[in-house]
Structure formats: C-alpha cells, structure tokens
Amino acid sequence: NAGVTQTPKFQVLKTGQSMTLQCAQDMNHNSMYWYRQDPGMGLRLIYYSASEGTTDKGEVPNGYNVSRLNKREFSLRLESAAPSQTSVYFCASSGIQGNTEAFFGQGTRLTVV
C-alpha cells in the first residue's frame, strides 16, 4: 500500500517550458488535491477534484491546469513555466471531501530558471 505517489521528485525547467506532475493514490479516495508550498506561505490550494470527472479551482490556480484521469490519478500541468512557479508541490487525497484525514505525497521540488 503505497499511499500517495508523486513523480518526479525533483525537476528543473527553463522559463516557457511545459511539464506535467503526476499523482496517484491507491486508497480508493474520492477527493484529490494539488498544493504548493512556499517559504512563509504555508500550503496553498491550486486545484482540487471532489470526485472522478470533476475539478475546481483553489486559491492559486493561475498558470496551472489539471486532469482527473480516473479515480486514482490527478495530474497538474504547467503549460508555460515561470520563475514564480518555483515551489514544492504536494498532491493529497482524502476519502470524504475534506472531512477526513488527507494523505500527502512526498512532494515535487520544482525550479524554474
């Protein structure tokens, strides 16, 4: 039982490049989330998916897109990376939308130069 798995763990992009962060959970959770963590800013929600087939914007969605491919997988895409998107990205999942324990992945450290 792996929990929440994120790939890659580290990535360096040049400004303007695109990439997709992958996330998969094996706990049969309905809800999945993408957060970014910046020094002094805590965890800020980018997008979330309450169930398969639905996605909603969070606090800081600009510059990102998401896909809930199936119940297990929720990907985050940066179409044209900017230095302001340098951050640590966390994927999380929970059973009932927000109302039970959220499990986090190990994070992806992204640097945009």
- Which residues of the chain form contacts with other proteins (CB under 8 A)? 4, 35, 40-45, 48, 50, 56, 58, 90, 92, 97-99, 101-107
**Which C-beta is closer to other proteins: that of 14 or that of 28?**
28
Strand runs labelled E in 8-94 = 10-13, 19-25, 31-38, 42-49, 56-57, 64-68, 74-78, 87-94
> Are 94 and 29 within 8 A, CB to CB?
yes
Tokens coding 103: 């499990």
Separation between Cα atoms, residue 49 and residue 2, nearest integer Å? 20
End-to-end distance of the chain based on CA atoms, in angstroms? 36
- Judged by beta carbon, residue 44 or residue 71, the one nearer other proteins is 44
Residue with smaller CB distance to other proteins, 3 or 16: 3
Q: Least CB distance from residue 72 to other proteins, whole Å?
A: 18
Q: How far is the CB of 102 from other proteins (least distance, A)?
A: 6
Nearest approach, Cβ of 94 to other proteins (angstroms)?
8
Nearer to other proteins, 17 or 58 (CB): 58
Q: How far apart are CA 7 and CA 112, in angstroms?
A: 17
Give least dist CB 78 to other proteins, A.
20
